[in-house]
Amino acid sequence: GQNIDQPTEMTATEGAIVQINCTYQTSGFNGLFWYQQHAGEAPTFLSYNVLDGLEEKGRFSSFLSRSKGYSYLLLKELQMKDSASYLCAGLETGANNLFFGTGTRLTVIP
Amino acid sequence: GAVVSQHPSWVICKSGTSVKIECRSLDFQATTMFWYRQFPKQSLMLMATSNEGSKATYEQGVEKDKFLINHASLTLSTLTVTSAHPEDSSFYICSARDPSQGAIGYTFGSGTRLTVV
């Protein structure tokens, strides 16, 4: 089985940095994804981690610790358009589908 | 990059009628597609895995006779919500994986907002 936990809501200020945490439990780990989803739209891919460490991509970075079952998404220089839901999703060994956490709704305020 | 097209983007139907939602992979072949349902302020819940040329695999609690899935070709899967009721109102999203992209090849359709009145 699998389970993913992440905070339901977060608020941060424009220009600041925010870290969204995700913990997971799975019987066979094969990668951790982060997606961004604006209301009423499809999720868009942000990052994929399968090895421990930090992956940086512009203003967004994602970190993974497989031994701790832990990941975070770091958003720098926040912009108003970053207000969205951020979905942590896992891929199990031998499985085809992603399993999603509840998503974290981030609100960026001026 | 890989594109998945989903239609319609929104639909309103009367209680008791059926609604078909289409999901197409436009520039790759998808032997497997996934159907998710998302209620307001909640995350995506996998309903079923659609397998080309064979029966779909449904998640526990999802009625296969109510949510009919057909995956007749390598680029098209359809989800039919039969005898729809107001509680079926939700946001339905399909996903497909482009095998040439490896693990990051999961692409989502734009979603279908279903409202049953």
Contact A50 B104 (CB under 8 A): no
Q: How far apart are CA B113 and CA A89, in angstroms?
A: 22
Mean pLDDT of A91-100: 83
User: Which of B36-40, B50-54, B103-107 is most confident?
Assistant: B36-40
Contact B110 A102 (CB under 8 A): no
Nearest CA in chain B to A6: B43
Q: Extract the tokens encoding A99.
A: 């399993």
A30 touches chain B (CB under 8 A): yes
Contact B46 A103 (CB under 8 A): no
Instruction: With a cut of 90, say whether residue B100 has pLDDT above it.
Output: no
Band (B79; pLDDT cuts 50, 70, 90): very high
Nearest CA in chain B to A106: B41
Instruction: With a cut of 70, say whether residue B77 has pLDDT above it.
Output: yes
* Lowest-pLDDT range of A5-19, A51-65, B44-58, B97-111: B97-111
Contact A44 B45 (CB under 8 A): no
Contact B44 A40 (CB under 8 A): no
**Set of chain A residues whose Cβ sits within 8 Å of the Cβ of B111:** 40-42
Position A1 scores a pLDDT of 62
Query: Whole-number mean pLDDT of chain A?
Result: 93
Band (B97; pLDDT cuts 50, 70, 90): confident
Mean pLDDT of B62-66: 95
Q: Which residue has the higher pLDDT, A98 or A96?
A: A98
A60 touches chain B (CB under 8 A): no
pLDDT digits (tens, 9 = 90+) for A39-51: 888 899 999 999 9
pLDDT digits (tens, 9 = 90+) for B34-51: 999 998 888 899 999 998
* Lowest-pLDDT range of A18-27, A49-58, B62-71, B100-109: B100-109
**Set of chain B residues whose Cβ sits within 8 Å of the Cβ of A31:** 103
User: Which of A91-105, B35-49, B74-88, B97-111 is most confident?
Assistant: B74-88
Q: What percent of chain B has pLDDT over 90?
A: 72
Contact B32 A48 (CB under 8 A): no
Contact A42 B104 (CB under 8 A): no
* Lowest-pLDDT range of A61-75, B35-49, B94-108: B94-108
Given B46, B104, B113, which is nearest A99 (Cβ)?
Answer: B46
Three-state SS for B71-108 is EEECCEEEEEECCCCHHHCEEEEEEEECHHHHHHCEEE
Q: Extract the tokens encoding A86.
A: 């951020």
Cβ neighbours for B33, distance < 8 A, ≥ 6 positions apart: B23, B25, B49, B50, B71, B77, B94, B95, B96
How many cross-chain Cβ pairs, A to B, lie less than 8 Å apart? 50
From A100's Cα to the closest Cα of chain B, the distance in A is 6
Q: Which residue has the higher pLDDT, B31 or A71?
A: A71
